[in-house]
Amino acid sequence: MNLRLDKATDVDAQVIFDMQVKAFMPLLEKYKDTDTSPANEPIDNVIKRINYSTGGFYKILLDEVLVGAICIYWKEETQFWISPMFILPEYQGMVIAQKAIELIEYQFPQATTWELRTILEEKRNCYLYEKMGYSLTGESKHLNENMTLVSYKKIC
């Protein structure tokens, strides 16, 4: 598996936006989280993330094929966040997310902590993050009767 991350630019905004909608639409339909779902965001949010002065969007390429993206940013020089990360549905379950996280963590060795949020009811996501060394922080937000966001943190 030849996986790499390339920093996205404004030229990539539309394709990343389209992929984000496609990747998150099944979750939006399942959980009806219209106010918080990345599938329901405007393209302007993608453009802002691409141009973060303290982070950015990275394209996930598998054998030169764009299969997803991961956005990272830092609050302080050593406290990093992943939000959002997505893999196109047809490429899920192929260890790509795990490898993308490994690559992004390797790319920023100055990070002492990594944080993210995910849907508690999505057990595969929770399993992935726990397998990667992330632990639940105890912080959660009940968004609706179907869905709870939980926070994870990894101390390096």
For residue 58, the enclosing domain spans 3-114
Answer whether residue 94 is part of any domain: yes
**How many separate domains does the chain show?**
1
DSSP 20-67: HHHHHHHHHHHH--TTT-GGGS-HHHHHHHHT-TTEEEEEEEETTEEE
Domain CATH number, residue 36: 3.40.630.30
Answer whether residue 152 is part of any domain: no
Answer whether residue 122 is part of any domain: no
pLDDT tens track, the chain, 156 positions: 899 999 999 999 999 999 999 999 999 999 999 999 999 999 999 999 999 999 999 999 999 999 999 999 998 889 999 999 999 999 999 999 999 999 999 999 999 999 999 999 999 999 999 999 999 999 999 999 999 999 999 999
Answer whether residue 106 is part of any domain: yes
Answer whether residue 7 is part of any domain: yes
pTM over 0.75: yes
